[in-house]
Structure 1
Amino acid sequence: MSSAHPQPARHLAQPGTAGAGHLLGDPHHDGSALYVSNPTPSLGESVTVRVRVPLAGTERGIHLRVVRDGEPRMSAAELVETTSTDRWYEAQVLVHNPVTSYRFFVNEPGGYRWLNGKGLFSREVPDVSDFRLTVFDAAPEWMTGSLVYQVFPDRFARGIAEKPTPEWAQDAEWADEPIGSGPGVGTQLYGGDLPGIEQHLDHLEDLGVGTLYLTPVFPGRSNHRYDASSFDEVDPLLGGDEALASLSGAVHERGMRIMGDITTNHTGDGHEWFRRAQADRSSPEGSFFYWQDDEPGYVGWLEHASLPKLDYRSPELARRMIDGPDSVIGRWISEPFALDGWRVDVANMTGRYADQDMTHEVARTVRRTMQDINPDAVLVSEHFHDSGLDMMGDGWHANMNYSAFTRPVWSWVVAEDSAVPALGLPTSLPRRSGRDMVAAMRDFDSVVPWKVVASQWNMLGSHDTPRLRSLVGSLDMVEVAAGLLFTYPGTPVVFAGDEIGAEGLNGEHARVTMPWDEPDRWDGDTFDVYRRLVALRRSSVALRTGGLRWVLVEDDAVAFLRESPDETVLVLVARAPWCGAVLPEAIAPDGAPVTLYGDADLEPVDGGYALPAGGPGVHAWRLR
């Protein structure tokens, strides 16, 4: 991705005004189809990689630096094309290792610079942010090309008229406010179920959803069901196995996909495996868990005794849980349930304990099991912090992208007077500049292969976070955040209710019900914004599959290009009024830009196009 550092020569706004400088003077490369001939090569294949250098560049030449078998090697790139705006260089990367890293050496008068995944640097840089080619398949297009819609089954809709209340639960009325902390957080039961979801698939279709993602449907002793008591059946409170098979069939009939949620890291303490293990440590199930002398006698996830942790040193556990068509993973991918993939809870901790680390082995086994049944199945991990070392693409296809998208965007759009807590930190969420937001995005994006960046699950909230509307406080800022969600590389994910303005101050408080019969809790203007942004993304191949080239990074506004071989789209997102900027006329080589979203055209001025300086707002223009 092109650099924001150091600053290139500034193209100022109209004479006599204060204007922001653009970043189009830097060399650029990313892993998209415009710059890489084959993103999924075979071992031993040579891949053509391209660098774009603006005509104003002063380079004496470009070299490719590839790390092969741990040793850097340099080769000259060839100047193959000069256009009215750029010089294009090409080089060949031999994919000698399953993960092959490379960067570019830009030779200039008086010195040299390095171009890597974080940008352009006039100093030495570590290899961690180099570009990467991998031999592993990317996530299938059905996921990356669609909107993923997350549903927490207990809070979406009731489809079963009468059902018993389990002894662990507290009944709640549909309009009740969720308990945000303390007693009752996990046991407040609203009674949503799978038939209720099936009855409201029209809403998903109207929004433009391509993939329905369900949080766990296995029985447990909580409303969230991450404490499974069995992996062999769907909770009868949700309608049982028949309800999941029916929902899956209805989803597929509409041309959509459906994904499940699994806890490979732990079970609940009421799980049948754990009960047998406690009763007889010499039983096969006795090897499934970690035991210790200290209370409670076994290892729980984050020391929670209710969630005993699974030990994948046990071949029998692997056989039952993750390996083969008869495993838990395999059974629910198969007919009649036919899930199209799994989101894996606490994936970052699965198979990790003390001196043991089997996470990558577990991920590869889960993926192989799924794809032996359905080659297009998707595997997504949950990882709240730096997932880079786990995301080379041989296991998890993508990650829930809290670090590279959610947190940076939150810090840019959060209301200045917000008291909403920062996720997992002992403070409120700070408001930061656009420069800080983009720097964080680039830091985390640069440590994984591009095809992972292009698949990541980007979110503005989930069942574990505050609601976006509570963070930003206004529809205008919801649109700003959602504008980034639907135009940034990756897979957009929406937590049910965000599209109608749902509110909540933390993960538990945010698990509100869908107000199907309560118009005062249903914000139609917010729904219209989401629907228009979904339509924008669906209308543009560049927004779905293109690369990312930063154009402008200011405190209150950011702009970037999404480029594919057939289309270029310019996106401008502003959280407040800003000073504006003029981009060179050559950005629109085919003539006048076409406005795709927003209330302002890209106005021609002497020698260029003026970006509108208003805000908050979202704009998108097709340039080519």
Structure 2
Amino acid sequence: MTALDATTRVRHLLDEPHHDGSEVYVPAGTPALGDVVPVRFRVPASGAERAVWVRTVRDGEPRIEPARLDRSDEHERWYVADVPVHNPVTGYRALLDEPGGYRWLNGRGVHAREVPDVADFRLTVHAPAPAWLSSAVVYQVFPDRFARAGSHDGLPGGELPDWAVPARWDDEPIPAGPGVSQQLFGGHLAGVEAHLDHLERLGVDTLYLTPIFPSRSNHRYDARSFDHVDPLLGGDAAFASLSAAVHARGLRLVGDLTTNHTGAGHEWFERARADRTSEEASFYYWTDADPGYVGWLEHASLPKLNYAAGALAQRMIDGPDSVIARWLRPPYALDGWRIDVANMTGRYASEDRTHEVARTIRRTMQAVNPDSVLVSEHFHDAGPDLAGDGWHANMNYSAFTRPVWTWLAEPGSGLGFLGMPVPVPSRDGHAMVGSMREFDAAVPWAVTRHQWNMLGSHDTARLRTVVGSRERVEVAAGLLFTYPGTPAMFAGDEGGLRGTNGEHARVPMPWDAIAGGDGARWDAATFEVYRTLIAVRRGSRALREGGLRWAVVGPDAVAFLRETADERVLVLAARAPWSGADLPRHLLAPGHDAENLYGGAALDVTPEALRLPGDGPGVQVWRLA
């Protein structure tokens, strides 16, 4: 890393008022209707406020009540306001009465103008995700490409279905066109079980499997049945064995389910087409236009499910005999579900049952396993679907993946941008943080702190291909393991695997290279970055549960604080050399040194300031006493 000579250091942001939903500002726990919750606002001593008020919305009507000054010192003042939890989701924001006018403080920051309610802070009576998700690190496995049991790396053996195009383990995945979903590499669940040591060595504790049900594709999102595991993966017995092995190691197992559609070869759909008076016929949407039914995104191979049919809900999502419930029970004992295209489930034309479906799934899961997690897939603005009573969290493309990509993407790569008809843009740190704050503010903090943050998935290009260098992969990983939420990673990113789109990125894990140290196919240095950062996260409660204060936002570097009542951690991420910044000296208690947690460099502490270095690219993490 090379320091950049500059005389002008970036101005810090810690002289702005702040609030978030973490324990420093809001009492821990879930309030009940009728509770009064004391919420705290931090105002720097340099502030000019004459008073602080809190604005709540009760039964649709705004109300403004005064906050009281709780304590102050030479650095900051703390105000407390009592917020009545009169509605299941109670929005609030602070009004700062200042000379010449007033400013609002909400989840997006401070504003000297009028703002809509969508970014207000929120208290919710809905229980958050299970506590274990706060410390979880999720590892996503695409079964066909993770591992075969044994060392065989030729064409997959045994009898293959007629749709399969067999591939050798070291073949390149087809990126698009004919054969893209039929190319079969032959990974199976016994292979996953055989490589659980890799997960433990890395430090992850939650295995998330993409679909395991029989289908006519390698991705298996076109299920033919929800009653059994695909024999190509080893069948029900292999899944039960994997579950037992995962849980014996103290790990957790999350499954993947398409509640929005089935495959055209699904047993329900075949009965529906054969007999339009059958119960199963009510499970689907029928039209006069070809092919005669509604398909997901007009794909005839994926007929869409119609939740106006009560019998469908009973079979799929509602009650102890549903698909949702069955796989949560032993011997499979899933610890939760990730729901494919959750944003579309229950939505068609004038019908919108998405929230009802989410609440039903959650109720069913709670009855079988109260400690299970429910995660939605939603590629864009999930805010309206995340009030907290349905999905616990979302795969956080909008508030994390997209903005981080735009900040770290290799300029001119030409890679497609997550389904958009344009390449990944190159944007500065202001744009990245602006997007993060915008989308984070649209959901309750209880959701934000459990969102599945990702740098890539089986539906995206590989991180290493997006950012272009090991150094920028390290910066991205630094953000992933220090930002509020649950880190979720796609198997192979920890070794720098490459891929230009979702299909091409589903490259098989190169186990021989991992074992033999083949640096051309597996980057052991990147693995060590991931392993170390995961350990840093596990060793810090502030990184797992703390709030978020942005300290520096510049074009090429950002810094933020993660804080709990007993710990403060400072994170600096730089994509390139920059001019550095000075932070207030009082962030570090007198007589104490900043403890370096990652990055190797000591924090420069002067009598006046904490001086952030201008090196880059790189990431630094310090614990401040």
Fold shared by both chains (TM-score > 0.5): yes
Residue 17 of structure 1 and its aligned partner are, at CA, apart by: 1.9
**SS of structure 2 residue aligned to 1:123:** coil
**Which residue is 2:523 aligned to?**
523
1:262 corresponds to 2:252: no
Q: TM-score, normalised by structure 2?
A: 0.97
Q: Deviations for 1:110-136, whole angstroms, at most 9, x for unmatched residues?
A: 111000000000001011100000001
Asked if 1:132 corresponds to 2:122, the answer is yes
**What aligned pairs does 1:189-268 form with structure 2 within 5 A after superposition?**
189-268=184-263
Aligned-partner SS, 2:417: coil
Counterpart of 1:567 in structure 2 is 567
1:88 alignment partner in structure 2:
78
- The match for 1:459 among 448, 454, 461 is 454
Residue 378 of structure 1 is matched in structure 2 by 373
Q: Pick one of 37, 41, 45 that aligns with 2:31.
A: 41
CA RMSD of superposed structures (Å): 1.1
User: For 1:431, what is the secondary structure of its paired residue?
Assistant: coil
Tell me if the contact between 2:6 and 2:579 (Cα under 8 Å) persists in the aligned partners. no
How far apart are the structure 2 equivalents of 1:381 and 1:146? Answer: 17
CA distance in 2, matches of 1:83, 1:230: 64
User: Aligned-pair distance for 1:141?
Assistant: 2.1
1:422, distance to aligned residue in structure 2 (A): 1.2
- Equivalent residue number for residue 554 of structure 2: 554
Segment of structure 1 superposing worse, 74-83 or 472-481: 74-83
Matched, 1:601 2:607: no
CA distance in 1, matches of 2:346, 2:422: 31
In structure 1, what is the Cα distance between the partners aligned to 2:10 and 2:69?
31
- Are 1:408 and 2:403 counterparts? yes
Instruction: After superposition, give the CA deviation of every residue in 1:1-30 in whole Å (9 maximum; x if it has no partner).
Output: xxxxxxxxxxxxxx9921110001011100
Q: Is the 8 A contact 1:39 1:134 kept in 2?
A: no
Question: How many angstroms does 1:38 deviate by?
Answer: 3.8
Q: Structure 1 stretch 194-203 or stretch 516-525: which is displaced more?
A: 516-525
2:110 to 100, 117, 120: 120
SS at match of 1:426: strand
Percent of aligned pairs sharing the same letter: 65
Aligned equivalent of 1:544: 544
Which of 320, 335, 356 pairs up with 1:340?
Answer: 335
Q: Secondary structure at the match of 1:43?
A: coil
Q: In the alignment, residue 324 of structure 1 is paired with which amino acid? A: G
Pairing partner for 1:17 from 4, 7, 16: 7
The offset of 1:605, in angstroms, is 2.6
TM-score (norm 1): 0.97
1:395 aligns with 2:381: no
What SS does structure 2 have at the residue aligned with 1:37?
Answer: coil
In structure 2, the residue matched to 1:10 is none
Structure 1 position 551, deviation (Å): 0.3
Are the counterparts in 2 of residues 465 and 510 from structure 1 also a CA contact under 8 Å?
yes
8 Å CA contact 1:486, 1:537 repeated in 2: yes
3-state secondary structure, aligned to 1:487:
coil
> C-alpha displacement at 1:494, in angstroms?
0.6
- Alpha carbons 2:22, 2:28 under 8 Å: kept: no
For residue 512 of structure 2, give the secondary structure of its aligned residue in structure 1.
Answer: coil
CA drift of 1:144 comes to 2.5
Partners of 2:582 and 2:251 lie apart in 1 by 42
Matched, 1:361 2:356: yes
Give structure 1 stretches of 5+ with no counterpart: 1-14
Letter paired with 1:106: L
Shift of 1:164: 1.6
Question: In 2, Cα distance between the equivalents of 1:346 and 1:417?
Answer: 30
Choose which of 94, 100, 104 in structure 2 pairs with 1:104.
Answer: 94
Establish whether residue 167 from structure 1 lines up as the match of residue 162 from structure 2: yes
Divergent runs of 4+, >4 A: none
User: Which AA in structure 1 matches 2:36?
Assistant: S
1:497, distance to aligned residue in structure 2 (A):
0.4
- Is the CA contact 1:143–1:211 (under 8 Å) kept in the aligned structure 2? no
Contact 1:163 1:237 in 2 (8 A): no
Where in structure 2 are the equivalents of 1:411-560 lying within 5 Å?
411-518=406-513, 519=518, 520-560=520-560
Separation in structure 1 between the aligned mates of residue 33 and residue 372 of structure 2, nearest angstrom: 23
Work out whether residues 406 and 460 of structure 1, in 8 Å CA contact, stay in contact via their aligned partners in 2. Answer: yes
- Looking at structure 1, the residues matched to 393 and 353 of structure 2 have their Cα atoms a distance apart, in angstroms, of 18
| 3-state SS of paired residue (1:578) | coil
- Partner residue of 2:577? 577
2:623 aligned with 1:622, yes or no?
A: yes
* Cα drift, residue 159 of structure 1: 1.9
Q: How many residue pairs align between the two structures? A: 610
CA–CA separation in structure 1 for the residues paired with 2:276 and 2:338: 31
Distance in 2 between residues matched to 1:565 and 1:249, nearest whole Å: 38
Any stretches of 5+ residues in structure 2 without a counterpart?
Answer: none
Q: Is the CA contact (8 Å cut-off) linking 1:66 and 1:103 kept in structure 2?
A: yes
Distance across 1 between alignment mates of 2:131 and 2:190: 28
